[in-house]
Amino acid sequence: MPQLDLPEPEDRADPFCPYFGTCGGCTLQHFGPASYAALKAGLIEDALRHAHVMAELQPMISAHGDGRRRATLHARGKAVGYMRARSHDLLDIASCPILVPALTQRAVTLTHPIAATVGDCDVAYTATDTGLDVAIKTERKFKTERLTLLAQRSANVARMSLNGQTIIETRAPAVRMGKATVEIPIASFLQATAEAEAVLARLVLEGVGAAKSVADLFCGMGPFSLRLAERAKVYAADSDRPALAALQKAVKHTQGLKPVTAQFRDLFREPLVPVELAPYDAVVFDPPRAGAEAQSRELAKSKVKTVVAVSCEPRTFARDAAILVAGGYRLETVTPVDQFAWSTHVEVVGVFRR
């Protein structure tokens, strides 16, 4: 999403980060609570209005939790940090206050010796229940013995990888999803905060209601599938093979779940068609920013009673909502979820009924 030209907030707050105004992130720190909520709601309302979809928004749910459990830091020369506002220049930082405590300072301090070893690089951190997952990307080629030694000496590093290949794994990086424990593949998608995952899952479960058979499309590692399977039969589809493998392994090792069928499928090119959708009482989809246009068109032709759409991009959510409404669905609820604190991004969950 391009950076917005922000309005002047009617109520103001004191920015809490020393890098506010120079760092390209967290641009809403000076917004007071009312202005902050209004701006986030306005992103969704404007998108729906543009798509000619009528809906009243529920109050926004804060899902900041303990902070973001994922972050990517850049290392250029001796500098480590994020990009400056409206710039491709790097801002050197000492810590990041919006991250979970395990990453607030640790991500910066660990990136420095990594960069000293491999040179300019990008390092993606994920704080999991079993330790840090550290994924390094660099264009340089070199032997990895020094990185292996660094990982061994670094406290709380569960896995370190370089350009998608594991260097060392002392224990599998894993997170809880409902009853299940899921081992995280390298570079797989995970919601930015644990609180947001829990909130989104709760809204999905509430939207699906008493459905006995559910299709979870763009399912990833199964944050919805695994929770849905505690009470319904689930078909899960995605084009991320490692994520599907992680989901299948979690299902295999979790007791008390109803059957979960996981299938590789490119839902952009090959959406489920009405005859394939017929067995399901409800469909859930949580696509990337591009949305689920092709799948929405097939749902609009189907007889599925309930659709729950989760989106991190209000504009493509609104486009897909317009397709579903034109196909006979009623947009029952729209709930903003504030996962990306102090940014101009907002998550949205819509429940559609025939």
Does 312 participate in catalysis according to the annotation? Answer: yes
List CB contacts of 216: < 8 A, sequence separation 6 or more: 222, 224, 225, 228, 234, 235, 236, 237, 284, 285
Tokens of 14: 């004191």
Beta-bridge partners for 157: 132
Tokens of 257: 């779940």
Please give the Cα distance from 135 to 162 (Å, whole number).
6
Strands (E), 148-243: 157-162, 165-169, 174-177, 180-183, 213-217, 233-238
Please give the Cα distance from 152 to 158 (Å, whole number).
9
Q: CA 293, 321, 345, 100 torsion: positive or negative?
A: negative
User: Is residue 132 a contact partner of residue 156, using CB atoms and an 8 Å limit?
Assistant: yes
What is the CA angle 161-165-171, rounded to 5? Answer: 55
- The helix-helix angle for 293-300 and 314-326 (nearest 10°) equals 20
Active-site residue identified among 23, 26, 96, 312: 312
- Buried b / exposed e across 233-271, counting CB within 10 Å, b at 16+? bbbbbbebeebbbbbebbbeebeebeebebeebebbeeb
User: Is residue 349 a contact partner of residue 310, using CB atoms and an 8 Å limit?
Assistant: yes
Comparing CA positions, the residue from 301, 339, 308 lying closest to residue 323 is 301
258 dihedral zone (left: phi>0; alpha: psi -120 to 50; beta): beta
Beta-bridge partners for 215: 235, 283
Please give the Cα distance from 235 to 33 (Å, whole number).
40
Residues annotated as catalytic (active site), given as ranges:
312
